[in-house]
Structure 1
Amino acid sequence: MITLHHLNKSRSKRIIWLLEELELEYEIKPYLRDSVSFLAPPELKSIHPLGKSPVIEDDGLIISESGAITDYLIEKYGKGKLAPKRGTNAYVEYSQWLHFAEGSAMLPLLLKLFVAKDGCETNFLAGYADAETLKILTYFNQSLEGKTYLVDEQLTGADIMMSMIVETLVNNGSIETFPNLARYAKQLASHEAFQKADQVEAKFS
């Protein structure tokens, strides 16, 4: 059985969604953030040296990084679901979004979070984070013009990976600034497995 090492209020929530979407049997080992520092507990380092989540265990493998986990689970258990066929143009597009989620997209959002938590005036960082975030979200919003999903008009791992960006906007109240993303957010939330992941994740918050 697959084991997901899950940290509350973290990016591992989308791995719960993926596991539910693939209808896989899994168990969750939950970890709670420190109430003051909001950092992951040291116990996670016993699973992976970086002490971060998500991490899964499957067939003796320990796999970290959301994109790698998503790729692994879909490749091994997807049976043609949640990813275009390899070697197609659609797969190239899918792969770009899969990596975009943790590459270009996440950094400016994290920078904004860190600036806000630090609370001090910055000479450069706050303005840079705001400008990059707007650029990333404008691109994401434009990419969904006239589309239901990111690739091939069907739910894929790319949508599951990008759902964290969408959820961040929903939580901070800025999703309506981007009409295509607001519509996309409702589409993602309409999936039964998404709703189940919400319920599962809530048990460990």
Structure 2
Amino acid sequence: MITVHALQYSRATRVLWLLADLGQPCNRIDYDRTESFGAPDALKQVHPLGKSPVIEDEGEMVAESATILRYLAAKYGDDSHTPPKDTLAYWQHEAMFDYVEASFAEVATQAILPAFSGDPVPDAARTALNRHLDYIADFIGKGPLLFGQDAMLADIQLSYIVALLARLNLLGDHPAISNYWDALQQQSGYIAATQAAGPMAPPA
């Protein structure tokens, strides 16, 4: 059975969501945030950088949520969370899946960190964030999710950052993204993961 090292209010929810979708149980080991919202030292016993999520499978350790999602899809022979491989949509999906952490996360963090501390979001950070949210809204199109009705790996990957932005009221000027977040929260895997391990974003 897969072991998931899951930090509270973290990207680990992505992994639990996919496992729920796949109907696969796991041994979940939870870690609480510190008073400064950091990861506890106990996670450094699991991964040298104290990262979460991390999974263990048959003695092997796998880190990075994107890699873990792909690993689980391959392990369980799942092709329901990507478009068909012989289509352009498949490569559009792969690009969006990698875009989340390769491009969007850094931009979003520049707005999330000050907002989380109760400080004003710098104009440059808000402008950059809005540009990326417009890009995502255009990608969603008719929606409700990135590729229609069903959650793909890219949706699961994007959900964590969108959850933080929603929690910090940074989606107000982007109703399409707010609607997208509403649709994500209605997905059965999201519901199962958050009922089991708590919300993606910390409560107000």
Q: Normalised by the shorter chain, which TM-score bucket? A: 0.7 to 0.9
Query: CA 1:78/1:126 → structure 2, altered by over 3 Å: closer, same or farther?
Result: farther
- Write out aligned runs for 1:39-58 (5 A): 39-58=38-57
Task: Give CA-to-partner distance per residue, 1:6-56, whole Å, 9 cap, x none.
Answer: 000111112111111111110111111111x21111111111111111111
1:5 is aligned with what amino acid?
H
TM-score where L is the length of structure 2: 0.87
The answer as to whether partners of 2:115 and 2:168 remain within 8 angstroms in 1 is: no
Alpha-carbon shift at residue 153 of structure 1 (Å): 5.0
Aligned alpha-carbon RMSD (Å): 2.4
Identity of aligned residues (%): 32
Q: CA deviation at 1:143?
A: 1.4
Matches of 1:199 and 1:193 in 2, distance apart? Answer: 10
Instruction: Note the residue ranges of structure 1 that are not aligned, 5 or more in a row.
Output: none
User: Quick one: which amino acid aligns to residue 12 of structure 1?
Assistant: A
Q: Which runs of 5+ in 2 are unaligned?
A: none
Deviations 1:163-196 (A, max 9, x none): 1122123212343421222222222222222111
**Do the aligned residues in 2 keep the contact of 1:90 with 1:152 (CA within 8 Å)?**
no
Q: TM-score, normalised by structure 1?
A: 0.87
Give the Cα–Cα distance (whole angstroms) in 1 for the partners of residues 87 and 12 of structure 2. Answer: 29
Partner of 1:101: 100
Instruction: Pick closer, same or farther for the CA change 1:192–1:117 going to 2, 3 Å.
Output: closer
Tell me what 2:34 maps to. 34
Aligned with 2:180 (options 178, 184, 196): 184
Contact 1:104 1:136 in 2 (8 A): no
The number of residue pairs the alignment matches comes to 201
The 5 A counterparts of 1:3-42 are 3-35=3-35, 37-42=36-41
**Alignment map for 1:140-159 (pairs within 5 Å):** 140-151=136-147, 153-159=149-155
